[in-house]
Amino acid sequence: MKYSSEELARAIDESFVDAFATLCTPSPKAILRDEGDMILYSSGAPSALLNGVLAARFSPENMLRRTEEALSFFQERGLPMTFFVGPRCTPAELSSYLESLGLVPGWTRPGLALDLDNVDREPLPAGLKIRHAENLESLKSCAQIFSKAFGADKQTTTWMHDLAMYYGISTSRRWYLGLLDEKPVATSLLILHKGVAGIYCVATLEEARGRGIGAALTREPLLVAQGLGYDFVVLQSSKMGLPVYERLGFREYCKIKAYCWSPK
Q: What is the CATH number of domain 5-111+256-261?
A: 3.40.630
Q: Are 163 and 29 in contact (CB under 8 A)?
A: no
Q: What is the pLDDT of residues 21-63, one digit of tens each?
A: 999 999 999 999 999 999 999 999 999 999 999 999 999 999 9
Q: Are 44 and 30 in contact (CB under 8 A)?
A: yes
Q: What is the pLDDT of residues 74-103, one digit of tens each?
A: 999 999 999 999 999 999 999 999 999 999
Does the pTM surpass 0.85? The reply is yes
Return the pLDDT at 2. Answer: 85
Return the pLDDT at 156. Answer: 87
What residues form DSSP beta bridges with 33? 40
Domain ranges of the chain: 5-111+256-261, 115-254
CATH architecture of the domain with residue range 115-254: 3-Layer(aba) Sandwich (3.40)
* Cα-trace Rg, the chain: 18
**Alpha carbon 84 to its chain's center:** 12
Q: Are 5-111+256-261 and 115-254 in the same CATH fold? A: yes
What is the average pLDDT value for the chain, to the nearest integer? Answer: 95
